Amino acid sequence: MKQKLSLTLCFVLFTIVIQAQTVPSHPWAHKRVAYFGDSITDPKNDGSKLKYWNFLQDWLDITPLVYGKSGRQWNDIPRQTDMLQKEHGDSVDAIIIFVGTNDYNNGVPIGEWYEEKDEQVVYGHGEPKKPVNRKRRYPKMDKDTYCGRINIALDKVKRMYPTKQIVLLTPIHRAQFYRSETNWQITEDYTNQCGLYIEAYINAVKEAGNVWAVPVIDLNSACGLYPMMDEHAQYFHDKDTDRLHPNDKGHERMALTLMYQLQALPCTF
């Protein structure tokens, strides 16, 4: 009987060891990841003690290189890219860009992804090649529009870091933020100065994934945070004055979502 129990125990232990060896580790574990963004990423923002990247650092042993800064918009991403290059060069595995809510709040026009020009190009299919007239599109590098800012930013990031994984996150839902008499931000069920709801800015980030061949994680829907409901105020800094910035509990929920979403993406190539 003792021998049978001993054999059974040995088999169980052997099975556990084999399973531990065959279960794949998270593809982002132990990597160096740069985070670009605004106040939700900024380590100095007082909306929470811990940010989503702190949780990912703890759970996956990611080394965070954080460049997010409060109030910044898509037009600040080139600056953050330059800072990363200056301080760490090529010593980074991936870049996560989480920005856009301030573009909505500041009424940045959406704009267009491309501008078209009439050009002549040589073409042949089933007959000898010859010059033909075609329309050709070029990314619109317009610093005063949302799409133009994304074009400028991703053109720079992808040229500077062509071998690195780049991931975009959509802005999350936002409700009131009443900081002061001169910083009184209304809820997302109102249009901005351009007459647009925040969905226009969220959808543009999704479109950017196809325009620039970068994966997009729709954090707006996937993380489940919905500050427009009083029941979800528990995830934000202050139920009365700040339902823009997630608190520790909110950041943990975002981080859990990201941990599982990132598992479907390679961190390095």
Say how many residues make up the chain.
269
For the segment 125-144, what is each residue's pLDDT rounded down to a tens digit? 999 999 999 999 999 999 99
Q: What are phi and psi of 168, to 5 degrees?
A: -100, 140
**How many helices and strands (H and E) does the chain possess?**
8, 11
CA distance 29 to 5: 38
Q: pLDDT tens string for the chain (269 positions)? A: 555 545 555 544 445 444 444 557 999 999 999 999 999 999 999 999 999 999 999 999 999 999 999 999 999 999 999 999 999 999 999 999 999 999 999 999 999 999 999 999 999 999 999 999 999 999 999 999 999 999 999 999 999 999 999 999 999 999 999 999 999 999 999 999 999 999 999 999 999 999 999 999 999 999 999 999 999 999 999 999 999 999 999 999 999 999 999 999 999 99
User: Residues 147, 113: contact at Cβ < 8 Å?
Assistant: yes
pTM exceeding 0.75: yes
| Residue of 67, 57, 60, 71 lying closest to 35 (CA atoms) | 67
